[in-house]
Amino acid sequence: MASFVAGIVCLIVVLCSAVPSLATVYTVGDSTGWTLSYDYTTWTSGKTFVPGDNLVFNYGSGHTVDEVSANDYSTCTVGNSISTDSSGATTIPLKTAGTRYFICGIVGHCGSGMKLAVTVSAGATTTPSGTPSSSTTTSPAPPTTITPPTSTGTSIPASSSSATVSPFVAVLVTFVALFKFVLF
């Protein structure tokens, strides 16, 4: 009986540790970061963003990350942002499905390419869009409070995605652990 309980505890631990690791951290622009004259539409192509993922913007002084409405994104209108940050390292949690729009709030920077539209899909079948779609209507996401990360001496990896554990691997490890505890 004790080995059965130990197996159940092991199963719960493995499942609880695997689920949070399914989120992906995307570094906007990869090693280039958030900068002028970069094609963020190409950067988003092929990526699927889902709730739980995070966007990390790395940039130098003289830039901002402003979340804006679809209209302000399309027209590169500054001054009407939903939220703004200029810390140089901005993390945006993608909590809900929908399209989120980001620009640099410095006049002229959005028009020089510092704009990003990210479609967060509820499922894994929709791909992100670098530009707002005229055929789909989306409401702007609720205001997000951007909290700059505290300095802990660690750096953010240049890769656009973090290491994740495959659900298959998590299930396989769980069954091996259960097999071990039940038979031994």
Residues 104 and 117 in one domain: yes
Is the pTM here over 0.85, yes or no? no
Written as tens digits, the pLDDT of the chain (184 aa) is 566 656 565 556 555 554 555 789 999 999 999 999 899 999 999 999 999 999 999 999 999 999 999 999 999 999 999 999 999 999 999 999 999 999 999 999 999 999 999 999 986 543 444 444 333 334 444 444 444 444 444 333 344 444 444 555 555 666 666 566 666 5
Domain that holds residue 169: 1-22+164-184
> Residue 31 gets which letter from DSSP?
T
- Number of structural domains (the chain) is 2
Distance CA 146, CA 135 (A): 30
Looking at the fold, whether 137 and 175 belong to one and the same domain comes out as: no
Answer yes or no: do 169 and 151 share one domain: no
Q: Are residues 124 and 89 in the same domain?
A: yes
Same domain, 139 and 181: no
**Contact by Cβ (8 Å): 109, 33:** no
Taking alpha carbons only, the member of 81, 64, 63 closest to residue 72 is 81
DSSP letters along 89-113, please?
Answer: EEEEE--SSEEEEEE--STTTGGGT
**Same domain flag for 31 and 54:** yes
Q: How far is CA 96 from CA 60, 100, 104, 162, in A?
A: 28, 10, 22, 20
